[in-house]
Structure 1
């Protein structure tokens, strides 16, 4: 709820500033000379072109962060799902080996959920401990020697799931340390400022119409920038992914 209030506050704040600027601009227009109309026609054309180009920048940025977050969510689901499968497959092992495999899977999932997740929300390095615990999951299966055909088949399936967990962890770490480039952020912010600034180069005789346009465009652009910023942090903030899939490892097994 705090994040929602913060987003609303940012959008309203920018809209209020833009509205005040629009009112001041309307006073300037009333005092302008008639020959300014030709210049206003040129400004209208420029504003339209810049607006179209900025819409493309917004679209590219939105697609980039949306796909990145989607990939992060897919990696989380795959990693937690593979880990849970190793927990379930342990039912085919002898009691001691099964307990070791289950304990290793639960220990890794618990560490990811309680220790690594807060670090990912702050975009901090995870360290080697998580990899060590994932190696323990693998070692729990390599230390076991299958004695039946069923155990051999289960062992092969389990190693396939562990390989998925390794690959998905790599993807999760990359998503936590990545993000949209500084060049894209510059284009997003500078383009928004330029698009809004050009709206004050020409005048609309009706002050209310101009005010509604300026406030509307400012609110929309501010919301889109905040939305992209939220999507750019896949593990934290208002739209951050949940660690719930790891809480399900070992549940119902």
Structure 2
């Protein structure tokens, strides 16, 4: 799924899903009409209608649950990105109150980390992988923070804050890396696909003398199911494809990291 979103444009994926679902549903309906005839199929309308209502409601609830769940996960990942960038800004400011040499060293590695997250880790997260460059940047940044020797109670308090901000950055980075590979388990995708096939195949058991109306109703159902599945797929991988979380918070962070304090 991840590589499909990365390698194939979203409109192509949408077209394949919509056309495939419509062809499957309408094709199955036309085949059953040719084999059994409209008169025989129309005998199923009353009984099958109640059963289809149950199946339709069950699948609609399941599909809605999945779309809402991946959307919430998408928003939480967005918040993690913003929190990581804000922690980087705050850590940068705190370093000006730490011992001068140590503060300069931290700022150097912090700016390198922020730049490399934007330039290197965003492309690697699109394929579900962390950036080795950013891993090394974070190691250097952590080491530079751990090497600080506070010389006063004030510096000690600020150093503790620097450690807290470093932990916030690390935790939120781990959150976005975890989200890059998607949050929906494979069994849930399997259930959605099988449920979709059953739901879209069920109209084939109905018979209507108005062929055009039945074709249009069947196609409309197929399009709705395909669009809902596309939404779930797009939101499940927040750093892949055309619907993805922007690196804008890190762009803003870099603009708020002056080399001198107070900034000119």
Aligned length: 250
1:62-101 superposed matches below 5 A: 62-101=67-106
What residue number does 1:197 align with? 201
Q: Identify which of 104, 112, 115 aligns with 1:107.
A: 112
Q: Assess, with a 3 A threshold, how the Cα gap between structure 1 residues 145 and 250 changes in structure 2: closer, same or farther.
A: farther
Q: Residue 20 of structure 2 is aligned with which of 14, 17, 35?
A: 14
- CA drift at 1:218: 0.7
Distance 1:238 1:209 in 2: 35
Residue number among 45, 49, 53 corresponding to 2:58 in the alignment: 53
- Of the structure 1 ranges 220-229 and 197-206, higher mean CA displacement relative to structure 2 is found in 197-206
Quote the residue 1:118 is aligned against: 123
Q: Partner residue of 1:184?
A: 188
1:251 aligns with 2:255: yes
Q: Give 1:22 deviation, angstroms.
A: 7.7
Q: Is the deviation greater in 36-45 or in 110-119? A: 36-45
The secondary structure found in structure 1 opposite 2:204 is coil
Report the TM-score when normalising by structure 1.
0.85
Q: Distance in 2 between matches of 1:181 and 1:23?
A: 32
Q: How does 1:153-232 map to 2 (within 5 A)?
A: 153-232=157-236
Measure, in 2, the Cα distance between the counterparts of 1:41 and 1:163.
Answer: 62
Does structure 2 retain, via aligned residues, the 8 Å contact 1:65–1:180?
Answer: yes
TM-fit CA distance, 1:150: 3.6
1:133 lines up with 2:137 in the alignment = yes
TM-score calculated relative to the size of structure 2 = 0.82
Gaps of 5+ in 1: none
RMSD: 2.7
Task: Give the aligned partner of residue 241 of structure 2.
Answer: 237
Aligned to 1:42: 47
The 1:199/1:160 distance shift into structure 2, 3 A limit, reads same
Q: Answer whether contact 2:98 2:159 (CA < 8 A) is retained.
A: no
Mean alpha-carbon deviation: is it higher for 81-90 or for 134-143?
A: 134-143
1:190-239 CA distance string (max 9 Å, x none): 11111111011011232232122111111111111111111111111121
Provide the C-alpha distance between the structure 1 equivalents of 2:54 and 2:179, rounded to a whole number of angstroms: 34
